[in-house]
Structure 1
Amino acid sequence: MTKRLSKEQAANFACQLRYNAGLNEREPIHIKGLLIKLGILTRYRPLSENAYGLSLMTPDKRFRFMLINSNSTRGRQHFTAGHELYHLYFDPEPKPHVCRKVGEKPSVERDADLFASNLLMPSQGILGEIPADELRKGISVSTILRLEQLFSVSHEAMVYRLRSLSIISESDIERLLGLSISDVARANGYDLSLYQKGNENVTLGDFGSNARKLYEMEKISEGHYLELLNQITDGKQ
């Protein structure tokens, strides 16, 4: 049985990727800029309702590819990208797979989620943006909204990250997730694009000339790759 990733390991891996990309341990990440900087060919396109995205790379790890569901909210898309970065750089047994919304997650998928949470919402960055009095007395919804906007993640992802950092209690989760976050964001004057789908047919990287190289794999054929694409775009399980 594969050993689960610890919180400390997830944080260390996240710091390692940030360092390699020239980012410090606190700043928010512009995810598209990071994907371009890392040279990961990325496509955003509508996928089946049950799919967040997928990733794969050549056996020599020279070329990496990511597909993200543009029907997800932008905040969720950012988290999916962080999740797939774990598979592309730190997964001990990387293989082409579809990250799905439903069903019990294998341990490696939970590891990828833990990594994405640390990568996109670094503890020092989060703690440094919360007023001292709210750290003592309880964080406000307006501060949570500001954190979501600053770190470009979904409301759900931020709520669970705050819980993992012991900033909110277990009993706070249901109340916060029960909010109509778009209405609350609108009332607080925030742009709503983070909570909406988008980026359909956006391509990052030189997809046209390099995608062919991703298909020329020793262990993963073009037919296998196309089969994966057809599986998720056709909504098959």
Structure 2
Amino acid sequence: MQTVDYEALGQRLRQARKQAHMSQKEVAGHLGVTASALSQYESGKRKIGALALERLARLYSVPLSSLFSEEGGEERPDWERALLGETENMSPEGRKGVAKLVRRVRQFRELHELAGVETPREPHHPFEPLPERNYPGEEVELFAEEARDFFDLGSAPLSHVKGFLEQFGAYVFGIPLGDTDKDISGLFFRHPELGPVVAVNSDQYYGRRPFTLGHELAHVLFHHDRPAILCRSQDKPPSERFADSFSARFLVPRKALLERLRTMDVEKVHNPEQVVHLSRYFGVSYLAMYHRLRTEGKTNLSAGHYENVRPVSLARRLGYAPSEQEYGKKDWPLEDQLPQRYIELAHKAWAEGAISKRRAAEVLGISHYQLEDRVGEEAAPMESPETYHGLQ
């Protein structure tokens, strides 16, 4: 039986931690030990158990085998270094989320091989990358209109932004990335084989998701020359302000907004009920709709009125059916956490015997009972339409 060189193991643990931009105190908190104990692990003065090693490998987003390799494992690929290099100022929760995304993307790449499916080619970029500068609203409006024209969207509401992004060739993950006030609302990076990858912070309010996706779409379309962009709510560079402005105008086109106001026989919005109707029509959050109206000078509501409104409850009173996710009562659906292709490949790999049921459930992040339920629902025959026996 081969003995473990704990001093060499400790050195590799220290190197992996530093590459993940995490302090000993942060890692110790995740591991449930003292910083002193972690320091002893890294110096080789204290033996570390197999379970703790596995947890550290997952936290640092490195293969467990690399911690035992004399070479320290393969060097991280460029996309991982670009992504992890942007996390230095994030909270421990945010860095842990990015590490989880790295694992998910690795699994996604592996699923292509297991299912015998080639990785897709990076999509054709219809627009030249934009330089880093401030763009006035009217200019961003033109970019949004040009993008809608290119994809032949007209001015109709975009009901499924994630599906649109994935149809274009980007892959969207929903990953917990910490408090959006301290960390990020989403991110974008380019994978050398998979192409553009987007992550939305699933710790944020569910209703904010469409706007974040529109924001990341701006990066996919106009900043595809950059290896990675982490989208923070504070200290925004021009590219982030552009993405915010683009998302608002792409999801709620000026022409469509004015047409909808005419249909409602409204010149200016003067009550929260009207904001709710518009937000539900365009599929954006109440706050996003309010700010869009302010940009167009189409509301008399003051900025402070939002504190006295409960948009989800108000929407329900107006006859809409908000999801349980909007109330914060349920986790995001699996289809919002993973790309559709990822889910399909996991099912295919399991169905063809390339991976076990347990492994398929693990890569999907669900229990094997939930996996069986999902497959059973997909395989269930369609019900025949009910016969109407009303009065003749």
TM-score, normalised to structure 1's length? 0.75
Alpha-carbon distance between aligned partners in 2 of 1:104 and 1:146, rounded to the nearest angstrom: 32
Same amino acid, percent of matched pairs: 26
Structure 1 position 125, deviation (Å): 1.1
Matched, 1:203 2:338: yes
Is the alpha carbon distance of 1:144 and 1:79 closer, same or farther for their aligned partners in structure 2, counting shifts above 3 Å?
same
**Secondary structure of the equivalent of 1:53?**
strand
Equivalent-residue separation in structure 2 for 1:129 and 1:107 (angstroms): 31
Residues 192-224 of structure 1 deviation map (CA, whole Å, 9 limit, x = unaligned): 2374455354322434899xxxxxxxxxxxxxx
Normalised by the size of structure 2, how large is the TM-score? 0.47
Cα pair 2:157 2:281 within 8 Å, conserved: no
Is 2:158 aligned against 1:23? no
SS in 2 for 1:82: helix
- Cα distance in 2, alignment partners of residues 203 and 141 from structure 1: 34
* Amino acid in structure 2 at the alignment position of 1:142: E
- Structure 1 residues 140-179: aligned runs within 5 Å: 140-169=271-300, 172-179=302-309
Per the TM alignment, residue 158 of structure 1 is displaced from its structure 2 partner at its CA by: 0.6
CA contact (8 A) 2:190 2:224 kept: no
8 Å CA contact 2:173–2:339 kept in 1: the answer is yes
Distance of 2:251 and 2:178 partners within structure 1: 25
- Return the offset for 1:32: 2.3
The question of 1:117 aligning with 2:258 is answered no
Worse-matched range after superposition: 177-186 or 75-84:
177-186
Compared CA separation, residues 93 and 36, structure 1 to 2 (3 A): closer
Match of 1:6 among 136, 147, 150: 136
Give the aligned residue type for 2:235: E
Q: For 1:49-198, what aligned pairs fall within 5 Å after superposition?
A: 49=179, 50-58=183-191, 63-91=195-223, 94-101=226-233, 103-131=234-262, 133-135=265-267, 138-169=269-300, 172-193=302-323, 195-196=326-327, 198=331
Q: Deviations over 1:93-137 (max 9, x none)?
A: 634122123x3322221111000000111111111112464205x
RMSD: 2.7
CA distance in 2: counterparts of 1:26 and 1:208, whole angstroms: 29
- Change over 3 Å in CA distance of 1:187–1:159 after alignment to 2: same
Q: Shift of residue 48 of structure 1?
A: 1.2
**Counterpart residue type for residue 74 of structure 1:** Y
Aligned-partner SS, 2:134 = coil
Aligned to 1:44, the other structure's residue is in SS state strand
| Other structure's SS at 1:54 match | strand
**CA displacement at 1:25 relative to structure 2:** 2.6
Describe the shift of the 1:113–1:65 C-alpha distance in structure 2 as closer, same or farther (beyond 3 A). Answer: same
Tell whether the 8 Å contact from 1:148 to 1:155 is kept in structure 2 after alignment. yes
- Point out 4+ residue stretches in structure 1 off by more than 3 angstroms: 26-29, 194-198, 207-210
Q: What secondary structure is seen at the aligned counterpart in 1 of 2:230? A: strand
Q: Report deviation, 1:30.
A: 2.1
Paired amino acid for 2:229? H
Look up the equivalent residue of 2:250 and give its one-letter code: L
- Structure 1 pair 178/148, CA: closer, same or farther in 2 (3 Å)? same
Any unmatched runs of 5+ in structure 2? 1-130, 346-392
Q: Which residue of 2 aligns with 1:48?
A: 178
Q: Which amino acid aligns with 1:176?
A: Y
Distance 1:86 1:173 in 2: 26
- Closer/same/farther in 2, CA of residues 195 and 165 from structure 1, 3 Å limit: farther
Is the 1:40–1:205 Cα contact (8 Å) retained in structure 2? no
Amino acid of the residue matched to residue 341 of structure 2?
D
In the TM superposition, residue 151 of structure 1 has moved relative to its aligned partner by 1.2
Name the amino acid aligned to 2:297. Answer: S
For residues 153-179 of structure 1, the C-alpha deviation after alignment (integer angstroms, 9 at most, x for no partner) is 11111111000010014x622213531
| Alignment match, 1:223 | none
Aligned residues of 1:21 and 1:37 also touching (Cα < 8 A): no
Using the alignment, how far apart are the partners of 2:278 and 2:258 within structure 1?
10
Q: Distance in 2 between matches of 1:109 and 1:26?
A: 25
